[in-house]
Amino acid sequence: MITTAAPDFAAALPDGGRLMGLDVGTKTIGVAFCDAGWSFATPDKTIVRKKFSVDLDALKTLVAAHSITGIVVGLPLNMDGSDSPRTQSTRAFARNLAPLALPLLLWDERWSTAAVERAMIAADVSRAKRAERVDSAAAAFILQGAIDALVRG
């Protein structure tokens, strides 16, 4: 099941559980996780993209290792809310995650990377460290937004 509606996603997860957030880029996939109570999201790793089958195997390993019950994927909409070629690519990526057999929420990520970059600059994180951490931090930002909406109902 793939949805853009938080209530539908929550209904597919009646017992809650740990969620994984993904910030899907053309070269990397930022990964984050949240606790089973949906309180806080934490950045984890960045997967360097290869062939999709290799990326899927890496995600399968993370799903099993962290007992993931659902996935939140950042959806890169245009500022006016319309789709772009990158949005369509992300939707295709999400459809290709079907072998994971988990509910999937596509979550608006329009400001995630910019917000994370600003926060890192304010924290005086070096440019090199920002480049290394921005994708997983953006995944955590996306996941936190989604779990906040899920908890609010």
Query: Is the pLDDT confidence value at 116 over 90?
Result: no
What are the pLDDT digits (tens) for 132-150?
Answer: 666 788 899 899 999 999 9
**How far, in Å, CA of 10 to CA of 143, rounded?**
14
Higher pLDDT, 126 or 33: 33
Query: Is the pLDDT confidence value at 128 over 70?
Result: no
Higher pLDDT, 14 or 40: 40
pLDDT band at 120 (very low <50, low <70, confident <90, very high): low
| Predicted TM-score (pTM) of this structure | 0.86
pLDDT at 146: 93
pLDDT at 62: 96
Q: Average pLDDT of the chain?
A: 87
Cα→Cα distances 53→75, 107, 123, Å: 21, 23, 37
Name the nearest CA neighbour of 142 among 2, 1, 4. Answer: 4
| E-state strands within 41-90 | 41-48, 68-75
Beta-carbon contacts of residue 2 (< 8 Å; ≥ 6 apart):
94, 95, 104, 105, 106
Name the nearest CA neighbour of 105 among 36, 12, 28. Answer: 12
What are the pLDDT digits (tens) for 16-72?
Answer: 899 999 999 889 999 999 999 999 999 998 999 999 999 999 999 999 999 999 999
pLDDT band at 79 (very low <50, low <70, confident <90, very high): confident
